[in-house]
Amino acid sequence: MHTPRQVFKFGGTSIGSLEALRLALQHVRAAGPGTAVVVSAMSGVTDQLLDAARSAERGDLQAADRAASDFAARHRALAEALLPEPGQILALIGQSVEELHAMCQSIAVLRELSPRTLDAVVARGERVLALGLAAALVAGGAHAVYVDATEIIALTPLAGGLWPDMAAAAEAAARLLTPVLATGGVTICPGYIGRGPAGQTLTLGRGGSDFSAAILARALGAERVVLYKEVDGLMTADPRAVKDARVLGELHFREAAELAYYGAKILHPRTMIPLLAAPGRPAIPLFIKNTFNPRSTGTRIADDAA
């Protein structure tokens, strides 16, 4: 039987606290089999890791160590609250933090922070969280499998930049995700990261886990992508500036792309590209939903919107 496939992505605030994580887990459990989950780092974590690296670059190892210890404490507390047997995840968090301390030390000695090192530092925010969520789902009896995004998303040089190799992503998704999804399971991938041409871990740019979700959706031939955020959907205007800003129920990819470019800050501007229709493949609709508001219907973005 064909199980519908969908990609759920949880943004920083949607997983930024214990309560939020519990809600996110409920959304995943309620969705049932055939769901590939993508997570960003918890809110504030990417900034904190960037801070650690930049403090080290300035030679301020104390500040770097403080950031690293905060990172560790925040994730340890969650693992302990969420998991009946947190031992394995606590060990992984410990490894990640040791590596972070070591990297900060090298950065401080060399007083040099390359883009590649910075990416390697920040990638751990998504990874520890995805590992923890997978463990929480397994502890709850689900068939949940962590798959590292660098196994699926390979970035290759294109037009002066790097772009995901979609054919390679489809092949990897068929090998690593589909068997789990087709047998009633759930996969959990860290968003925001991919593999560079030299095999190194790279990031997709700030807010890039939306893009990760879209890449995986295309690779899987998914029926929809749902981005869980802390807002009810895309709005007609910035609600902080315009009092009667409303949620847009539906909009065309084109309009959503414009909003993203004009700084709506809700969607990573590249997100729509993998979702567009092309010869032989339909478009994949994108939904924005509020993790915290089950009553809101959210925004649907597709190519058949009026």
Q: In this chain, which stretch among 137-145, 157-165, 201-209, 228-236 interacts with ligand ASP, using CB under 6 A?
A: 201-209
Q: How far is the CB of 125 from ligand ASP (least distance, A)?
A: 6
The residues binding Mg ion (CB under 5 A) are: 12, 40, 46
Nearer to ligand ASP, 134 or 193 (CB): 193
CB of 278 to ligand ASP, least distance (A): 25
Q: Give, as ranges, the residues between 2 and 61 that touch ligand ASP (CB under 6 A).
A: 11-12, 40-41, 46
CA 110 – CA 103 distance, rounded (Å): 11
- Residue 6: beta bridge partners? 35, 224
Q: Which residues pair with 227 in a beta bridge?
A: 9, 288
Q: What residue number has its CB nearest to ligand ASP?
A: 209
State which of residues 192, 228, 253, 287 lies at the interface with ligand ASP (CB under 6 A): 192
Q: How far is the CB of 122 from Mg ion (least distance, A)?
A: 10
Among Mg ion, ligand ASP, none, the one that 6 touches (CB under a kind-dependent 5 to 8 A) is none
Q: How far is CA 209 from CA 67, 123, 133, 183, 223, in A?
A: 22, 11, 16, 26, 18
CB 211 within 8 A of CB 204: yes
Contact flags string 208-227 toward ligand ASP, x per CB under 6 A: xx------------------
**234 and 264 in contact (C-beta within 8 Å)?**
yes
Q: Which is nearer to ligand ASP, 178 or 289 (CB)?
A: 289
CA–CA separation, 306 and 297 (whole Å): 17
- By beta carbon distance, the residue nearest Mg ion is 12
Binding residue for ligand ASP, selected from 58, 116, 206, 254, defined by CB under 6 A: 206
Q: How many residues bind ligand ASP (CB under 6 A)?
A: 12
Beta carbon nearer to Mg ion, 173 or 260:
260
Residue 213 CB, shortest distance to Mg ion, in Å, is: 13
| DSSP line for 10-33 | E-GGGGSSHHHHHHHHHHHHHH-S
Tell me the C-alpha distance between 13 and 183, whole Å.
Answer: 31
Q: Tell me how far, at minimum, the Cβ of 12 lies from Mg ion, in Å.
A: 4
Is there a contact between 253 and 261 (Cβ–Cβ < 8 Å)? no
Tokens of 155: 């970035």
291 binds ligand ASP (CB under 6 A): no
Whole-Å CA distances, 28 to 12, 87, 187, 194: 16, 23, 10, 23
Query: By C-alpha distance, which of 231, 191, 276 is closest to 9?
Result: 191
CA distance 167 to 291: 32
Q: What, of ligand ASP, Mg ion, none, does residue 34 touch, CB below 5 to 8 Å by kind? A: none
Q: Which residues make up the interface to ligand ASP (CB under 6 A)? A: 11-12, 40-41, 46, 125, 191-192, 206-209
